[in-house]
Amino acid sequence: MAVAPQEAFLLDGLRTPFGKYKGVLATLSALDLGALAIEAVLARQPWGRNPDGVLMGVVVQAGLGQNPARIAAVHAGISMTTPAMTLNAVCLASLESVCEAARRIRSGEGDSYLVGGFDSMSRAPQLIPPQHEQSNMAATRSALFTDGLGCALSGASMGELSDRVNRELGISRHDQDSWAVMSQQRAAQAQTKIEQSELFELRLEDVHAREDQGIRPETTIEGLAMLKPAFGEGGTITAGNSSQMSDGASAGLVVSGHHLERLQQPALARIVDWGLVAGPDASLHLKPAMAIRRLLKRCGLSVADIDLYEINEAFASVAIASSRDLGLSPEVVNVNGGAIALGHPLGASGFRLLLTLALELRRRNLRRGIATLCGGGGQGLAVLIENCNL
C-alpha cells in the first residue's frame, strides 16, 4: 500500500495487565507502570528511544512530580533530548495522545511519537487542606475522587450523575447487568488471544502479573442482581455493571508514512481522523455517540461503514446509551469485552481501546473501526482507524 509521507500510522503498542484496585500492581507507582510499558515497547522497537516527542496521558497526577510523561519516559530509557508532554483530558487523555501525535505529523513537526498513558488508582494520594483552612471539621480528600471520579462541574460523583441520566434515558438495571455479563463473557473468551498480542508479562522481584485481574467468567445475571446500588438507594449502577478501578499503563508508537517506509515495517493501522465533542451538559452517556456522529460526518461515512466499535464501558449504561443512539448491534461493539471486565486505569484506557481495536481488525481482516470514550465534565472523543494489512 502506497502511503503519503505525512499520514499518521499506529505502528505498535503494548499494555500492562490491568490490576484490580489495591491488587497485584498496587505496590507500583503510576510512574513505574508507565516506565514499564514504555520499556516493553522499546524492547520491540529499539529505534524508539529517540522519537520526536513523548505524549502520555495521566489523570491522577497529584504528587507524581513535574511532567509525569517525561519522568516515566526518561526512566524507561527515552533520550533526555526528547521533549515530553503530559496530557489530561480525564479518560480521553491517552486517546488524545494519538490525535496529538497525528496532528504534529500532519503539520510536519515530526515523524515519530511515543504515545499512551498510565495511572495507579491504588496509589492516589490523600490531599490535606492548607493549614489556614483546617478546622476540626476539615478532612483529607482523595486525589482519586477530585482528579478522577468526581465531576468538578456538577459537584456530584460521576456515578451519581450517571444514575440520574439512567432514569432519564430509561436504562434499566437489567439492561446494565445484561451488558456486564456480556462484557465478562467476551473478555474471558478472548483472554488468551489478548494476552498473546496486547499484554506483556510483568515479572519483577515482588510483582508477577500476566493477565487482567478483573475478568470474572463465572459472572451471572442472577449474581449481579444481588449487588446493592453503588450510589444510593434506588440507583441502578453497581460495582458489577461499572468499570473497575484499576492500575495499569499502555504505550505505543505513532509514525508518519515517511518514517514507516524508512523502517520497512508493517503498521497496525492508519489513523484516519477523529471527532471531539463537549457538552451541552456534564453527562457521559451520549458523548461517545456524539463524537462518532461528528467523526462520520467529517469523513463522509455512515454508521454501517464501520466494521467494529470500541466504546469504553465507564458504566454499562454509557455503552448501552451510545449504541442505542447510533443503532449499533452489540455484535460489533466491544467484541472482546470492555472495562467492566478488564478494568479502567483512567490514563491508560483510551490507548488500550485503540490498540484492542487495531489488533482485532487485523485478526478479522476487517477494514474500519472506531474507538471512543466519554470523559469527566461531559466530553467525548472518537478515533477512526483503517487496517493497513488488507
- Tell which residue, 258, 276, 260, 278, has the closest CA to residue 268: 260
Q: How far apart are CA 153 and CA 147, in angstroms?
A: 12
Report which residue type is found at 347. Answer: G
Report DSSP letters for 285-298, one per residue: TTHHHHHHHHHHHH
Could you tell me which residues are beta bridge partners of residue 255?
A: 9, 112
Residues marked as catalytic: 91, 344, 374
For the packed helices 349-364 and 173-197, what is the interaxial angle rounded to 10 degrees? 70
Contacts of 355 (CB under 8 A, 6+ apart): 10, 13, 14, 15, 198, 250, 252, 268
Q: Max alpha carbon distance in the chain (Å)?
A: 68
Helix segments in 206-304, DSSP class H: 221-225, 257-263, 287-299
Cell of 374: 466519554
Q: How distant is the alpha carbon of residue 8 from its chain centre? A: 20
